[in-house]
A and B are shown apart, each in its own frame.
Chain A
Amino acid sequence: MSGAFSVVGERLPRVDAMDQTMGKTQYVDDMTLPGMLVGRHLTSIHAHARILSIDTSRAEALVGVHAVITGADLPITYGILPISQDEHALAVGRVRYVGEPVAAVAAINPEIAEQALALIDVSYEPLDEVVTLEQALETDHPMLHGDGLGQNVHRSAALEFGDVEEGFARADYVREDVFFFGGNTHAALETHVALASYSQTGKLTLWSSTQVPHYVHRTLEKVLELPAGRIRVIATAIGGGFGGKTDPFSHELTAAKLSMVTGRPVKINLSREEVFYAHRGRHPVLMWVKTGFENNGQITSMHFKTFLDGGAYSSYGVASLYYTGALQTTTYRIPNYRFEGLRVFTNKPPCGPKRGHGTPQPRFGLECHLDKAAADLGLDPVTIRQVNAVEPFSTTVNHLRITSCALVECIDKVVEASDFTVKRGRLPSGRGVGLAVGAYMSGAGLPIYFNDMPQSEVQIKIDRGGGVTVYSMATDIGQGSTTMLATVVAEALGLEPRDINMVIADTDLTPVDLGSYSSRVTFMAGNAAVTAGAKIRSRVVQAVADELGVDPAQVVTKGGRVGVSGDLDRCVTWAEAVRLAIAATGPLVESGGYTAPKLAGTFRGAGVGISPAYSYSACVVEVDCAADTGLVKVERVWLAHDIGRALNPLLTEGQVEGGVYMGLGEALYEEHTFRGGLHRGPSLLDYKIPTALDMPPVETFLVESDDPEGPLGAKEVGQGPLLPVIPAVANAIHDALGVRIDEVPITPQKIVAALRNVSRGRPGRIGPETIPDFEFSRLTRVEPPEGFVTP
């Protein structure tokens, strides 16, 4: 099939590779504007306190300080989700976590800005801190949002599809497990930076390291009360996002406000510590899962409960909550399924979306749970997954439409390549292999705010010299979206990706794309670009066909020429073809849009989890664990990913390797830990991301299932490959040492503790024992979709 393409499927370097490699790429922090001031935030030193007063007079009097603002200057609330607008750019009346911005200064240099912070007098009245899930469910602590004492429940969800009790009743075997997934963060190399410039004519320009310029645009409009047309947001080159730059952030608003107040450009670059507090990373999730099986391993029913510690604000929390229950059914045919979930507020930095958004936690629990069940049923890990694997072009019990699906092929690939079946249970003590799978959305089916407009728009403009310029608001956060767009347009026009000029992520210049989150860009912006490219191609081909006197169906675009298929001597150059088209039909400017099909059911929460297509991954991890120290060395990782079509295998493999790296970090090292409300180590020394020396070889297998709706058949790869890595590590450690660590990160201490348990005749398991006794109310019962076939 790849023979049908010219540049798609080629291992081409990114179009921006040379600039990046040579250090020439301009990030926000590389920018300097005339008269630019430095902005800094004063942050809260209390996890929970009332602000009694803020006196900025001493700071304002300091020579070199141009402005000091507080929450009173930015009183309008905002938040990424329309239903939870609970944030202020600067705290108003109350602080809810250590590190929350309280005031902002603009000064002529960083030294004076820092001195000014020390001159701001804030008087606090400390309040009772709510820092754990258990405390959040008690009734005698202050509510973080609202007055008085009470539970700090942000949101709960309770959905049942089919009849779970009936499913358990007909099971041969039922198993329950409890798991915990520790909170962790994105740790992008580039910190969050924004530069704002408010012009004399009343136009605000914001350059920001953001994944979502469109949502930042909307937030600026709301909070600053400026017309959208007088705000320009430019997402500059981004040094990593991973979901950490997917909310509108305080510093974007305060930089803008400070520029409006001072009339000078203002840049704010968060410190690494401030980035840990801005957070929006992985929710800590406590989970309970109960599954019924037939003797052959087939699932009859599943009940999944999740408890999310959300931190101080909502962020994406409502979506995160539903995501912890939505995608279990995308890999396994579960005929009856109940999900109950709860998100609480605590006095810690707000959690949000990180690569896999809400799905790595339940995936970890589910994949370990399945291995345990398989062992009890006398099945091997491969069989239990094959028996339950979803089929292509099917519908799940919770109303998710599955299209292309190469889950079984992915399992086969990694099992075969790793010799999994031979190795499992047979390697020397301390060595083991583990298998797990996962699935992820190729873009959220719905936009964040309700609307019927396209989720992505792409324009293409052709210059009379043949130059092609593509305009898209898709932000390249390192995943290669710019190269992807250039590739699909080049494919349509018979050019090379490097021939395409890319104008991206600028609200003045580019049509809307909702942003780089939920793995939506290849699918949505890619499809929009395919549509726009086809329109250009069609006009050019028609003009050339007319010129050559042939049927347009005979005309091909290839290698910078447009001519007769099979007789390429009869051709014109691309530039001549373009001029013919412009002369014949006018300006050669076209656009394409993508709107996902209407997939959502009618029940509450149905909007979360739907996607036009799902990617599938399977992973085998081989580990070498030292029983005496608990130190784990990951020897090798095999990962097969159903990408639909690899538009660029080189970039696709890079995303797989990045996902493996991040998954290993979460599995073995990374955790946000707190003493009370204080982060134990908000630095890259204390927060352990793996080093190059900790990264094993990765064997990647790309499986092309050719999705019918994907751009040229493609699906996502940015997030999915992370999902199976974490449980595969846990399953491998079990194979190696016989102990179950039912919580991540799997630290050496937990492994040694589990082995010490074994030596004392106790179960070789470390993990949570129980879940809170929380009564989920308002269970919504949903009939399985029409045509749903019970396995």
Chain B
Amino acid sequence: MTIRLPAFDYLTPETLEDAAAALADPDRSVIIVAGGTDVVPKMKRRQMTPEVLVSLSKIESLRGIRRDDEGRCVLGASTTLAEIHGSSLVPEVFASAAGDVASPQIRNTATLGGNLSLDTRCNYIDMSDSWRQASGYCLKDGGDTCWVAPRSNKCWAISSSDLATVALALGGSVKLTSVRGERMVPVEELYNNDGIAYSTQAPDEILVELVLPKDCGRATYQKLRRRGSIDFPLLGVAAVVSFDDAGVCASARIVVGAVASAPLRATEAEEFVVGRSFTKEVLEEAGRLATQSVRPQDNTDTGSRYRKWMVPVFVEQALRAVADTSE
């Protein structure tokens, strides 16, 4: 039995202005739908029952990838992950990470904006309504307990976007628009480490595009998952570094994804590696430092212990990948 969607109105505005106006409806609950690969299952599971879905599919200006006058890569929010994966205009690390998301079928439909706006996930909430009734509705679901950490007063749902981790490491920014106007927000400021209020994007704002800097340095994204396809990250580590002529690290951004409700910069590890050569000992210490600040919980596939063990392994792996000059 295919679970049916709850009833909703479906709008297909042709301009960004119309879409923004539709989202500003004060009387009805309105959300954006793009590829629908996250919104539709969530609606079927009655995690959300918006009265209106505003589709961005008819807004041509949201599609496509270009380089602007300054050489920065500008990706429209409605660009599919498959298009990003196959594009030569996109920084290689970002195109490659897009290919790590979900499965080919999903990537053909899922969009950049959807992935960057992905709701935080948790195996106490991404379940059917009757399952959640049986479990008891959790904090994110209108209840008063986070079942992941019952003594905590915060929600521990996991940021599960591969591309958010990479975009943050690359120092990207997003353009948001609403009836109140337009603003650029660094990806670093787009997310909160809170499973419920995980985004600083206002409900009436539309993510229009992602801008990635011209020069991305040496960059990698290492994703942990058990199967070769489909799965959300159990852990994702993005590293973007540069070296001086002597092979000493000049700059480093290390971002750890899927261990908290937002992608997290491993600032202590970053500060430690800058000014050092990537010896085995340095990488090990960076891995150790990056691990100190993360507390993965038992709310996705595999145990939390394993995910914590894997943080230094993946940080080292990522740093090794960018240090390797043999390419």
Chain A interfacial positions (CB closer than 8 Å to B) = 40, 43-47, 98, 110-111, 114, 191, 268-271, 273-274, 628-631, 669, 675, 678-683, 685-686, 688, 690-694, 747-749, 752-753, 756
The contact of B230 among A43, A44, A685, A756, by CB within 8 Å, is A685
* B305 contacts chain A at the CB level, 8 A cutoff: yes
What residue of chain A has the Cβ atom nearest to residue B7's Cβ? A111
Measured between alpha carbons, how far is A630 from B307 in the docked complex, in Å? 12
| Contact present for B301 and A631 (CB under 8 Å) | no
Residues from chain B with a CB closer than 8 A to the CB of A679 are 131
Of A110, A111, A691, A756, the contact of B228 (CB 8 Å cutoff): A691
Interface size on B, residues (CB 8 A): 31
The answer to whether A628 touches B313, judged by C-beta atoms less than 8 angstroms apart, is: yes
Contact B3 A271 (CB under 8 A): yes
A752 to B7, CA, bound (A): 47
List B83-136 residues whose CB lies under 8 Å from chain A: 103, 123, 126-128, 130-131, 133-135
The residue in chain B whose Cβ has the minimal distance to the Cβ of A274 is B1
**With A and B bound together, what is the CA distance between A280 and B89 in angstroms?**
51
- Most A CB within 10 A of own CB, among B103, B130, B301, B302: B130
Interface residues in B1-26 (C-beta closer than 8 Å to A): 1-4, 7
Min Cβ gap B97→A in Å is 17
Which of B3, B126, B226, B231 contacts A631 (CB under 8 A)?
A: B226
A629-B310, A749-B305 known; A680 vs B1 contact (CB < 8 Å): no
Q: For A44, list chain B residues within 8 Å (CB).
A: 134
Q: Which residues of A contact B306 (CB under 8 A)?
A: 630, 747-749, 752-753
Kindly state the separation between the CA atoms of A685 and B224 in the bound complex, as whole angstroms: 16
Q: Give A684's nearest chain B residue, CB to CB.
A: B230
Knowing A45-B134, A111-B4, A749-B305, say if A669 contacts B227 (CB, 8 Å): yes
Known: A114-B4, A629-B310, A688-B301. A678 touches B224 (CB 8 A): no
Contact A680 B123 (CB under 8 A): yes
The listed residue (A274, A675, A680, A752) touching B309 by CB distance below 8 A is: A752
Is B302 within 8 A of A749, CB to CB? yes
Enumerate the 3 nearest inter-chain pairs by beta-carbon distance, A residue then B residue, closest first.
A693-B228, A749-B306, A269-B1
| Residues of A close to B103: CB separation below 8 A | 691
Judging by beta carbons under 8 Å apart, are B1 and A749 in contact? Answer: no
Asked if B229 is at the interface (CB within 8 A of a chain A CB), the reply is yes
Q: Is the CB of A110 within 8 A of B4?
A: yes
Q: Nearest Cβ distance between residue A573 and chain B, in whole angstroms?
A: 50
Q: Do A694 and B301 have beta carbons less than 8 Å apart?
A: no
Q: Is the CB of B130 within 8 A of A45?
A: yes
List, in ascending order, chain B residues with CB within 8 A of A631's CB: 226
Q: Which of B296-327 contact A (CB under 8 A)?
A: 301-303, 305-306, 309-310, 313, 317
Q: In whole angstroms, how far apart are the Cα atoms of A688 and B305 in the complex?
A: 19
A675 to B147 Cα, complex, angstroms: 11
Complex Cα distance A270/B126, Å?
19
| CB-based nearest A residue for B300 | A686
Between-chain CB contacts (< 8 Å), 5 pairs: A678-B131, A682-B127, A685-B231, A686-B123, A747-B302
Residue of B nearest to A749 (CB): B306
Chain B residues within an 8 Å CB radius of A47: 134
- Shortest A739–chain B CB gap in Å is 15
Interface of chain B, main secondary structure:
loop
The residue of chain A having its C-beta at the shortest distance from the C-beta of B307 within the complex is: A749
Least distance between B157 CB and chain A CB atoms (Å): 15
- Closest residue to B304 on the A side, CB-wise? A749
CA distance A748 to B135 in the complex (A): 28
B227 in complex: contacting residue of A191, A690, A752, CB < 8 Å: A690
CA distance A747 to B305 in the complex (A): 13
Which residues of B sit under 8 angstroms from A675, Cβ to Cβ? 135
Whole-angstrom distance between the Cβ of A74 and the nearest chain B Cβ: 20
> Please, which residue of chain B has its CB at the minimum distance from the CB of A756?
B309
CA distance A685 to B127 in the complex (A): 11
Q: Which residue of A lies closest to B234 (CB)?
A: A748
CB proximity of A105 to chain B, nearest CB, Å: 13
What residues of chain A lie closer than 8 Å to B317, measured between beta carbons? 628
Residues of chain B lying within 8 A (CB to CB) of residue A110: 1, 4
Q: Are B1 and A748 in contact (CB under 8 A)?
A: no
Cβ–Cβ contact B226 & A748, under 8 A: yes
Provided the pairs A686-B123, A688-B227 are in contact, do residues A678 and B135 lie with their beta carbons within 8 angstroms?
yes
B123→A691 contact, CB < 8 A: no
A693 touching B1 in the complex, CB below 8 Å, given contacts A45-B133, A681-B123: no
When chains A and B are docked, how far (Å) is the Cα of A46 from the Cα of B136? Answer: 11
Find chain B residues with CB under 8 A from A747 CB.
226, 302, 306
- For B305, list chain A residues within 8 Å (CB): 749, 753
Contact of A40 among B1, B123, B228 (CB under 8 A): B1
Compute how far the CA of A274 lies from the CA of B4 in the bound complex, rounded to whole angstroms: 15
Q: How far is the CB of A11 from chain B (nearest CB, A)?
A: 29
Collect the chain B residues with CB atoms within 8 Å of residue A628's CB: 313, 317
How far is A97 from B95 in the complex, measured between Cα atoms in Å? 46
How far does the alpha carbon of A271 sit from the alpha carbon of B4 in the complex, in Å?
Answer: 11
B134 touches A678 (CB 8 A): yes
List A contacts of B227 (CB < 8 A). 669, 688, 690-691, 693-694
**Chain A residues within 8 Å of B130, by CB:** 43, 45, 273
Tell me, in angstroms, the Cα distance from A683 to B128 when the chains sit together. Answer: 10
Query: A41 vs B305: C-alpha distance in the bound complex, in angstroms?
Result: 38
Q: Roughly how many angstroms separate A675 CA and B123 CA in the complex, as a whole number?
A: 11
Q: Which residues of B contact A46 (CB under 8 A)?
A: 134
Residue of B nearest to A117 (CB): B130
Nearest chain A CB to B127's CB is how many angstroms away? 8
A271 to B306, CA, bound (A): 32
* Interface contact A98-B226, CB-CB below 8 Å: no
> Cβ of B301 and Cβ of A686 under 8 Å apart?
yes
- In the bound assembly, the distance between CA atoms of A748 and B314 in angstroms comes to 14
Q: A45-B130, A756-B309 are in contact. List 20 more A-B contacts (CB 8 A).
A: A43-B130, A111-B4, A273-B128, A274-B1, A628-B313, A630-B306, A669-B226, A678-B134, A681-B123, A681-B301, A683-B127, A685-B126, A685-B231, A686-B123, A693-B229, A747-B302, A748-B306, A749-B305, A753-B305, A753-B306
Q: Which of B204-261 contact A (CB under 8 A)?
A: 224, 226-231
Shortest CB–CB separation between residue B125 and chain A, in angstroms? Answer: 12
A629 to B235, CA, bound (A): 12
CB <8 Å contact, A270 and B226: no
Residue of A with least CB distance to B317:
A628
Docked complex Cα distance between A749 and B4 (Å): 37
Min Cβ gap B119→A in Å is 14
Shortest Cβ distance from residue A51 to the other chain B in the assembled complex, whole angstroms: 15
Among candidates B133, B228, B313, residue contacting A694 with C-beta atoms closer than 8 Å: B228
CA distance A678 to B135 in the complex (A): 7
A contact residues around B126 at 8 Å (CB): 685
Residue of A nearest to B302 (CB): A749
Give the complex CA separation of A54 and B246 in angstroms.
77
- Known: A271-B1, A273-B128. Is A748-B302 also a contact (CB below 8 A)? yes
In the complex, the answer to whether A688 meets B134 with C-beta atoms within 8 Å is no
Distance in angstroms between the alpha carbons of A680 and B310 in the assembled complex: 22
Q: State the CA gap A693–B227 with chains docked (Å).
A: 8
Would you call B134 and A691 a contact (CB within 8 A)? no
Bound CA–CA A588/B303 (angstroms): 65
Residue of A nearest to B41 (CB): A685
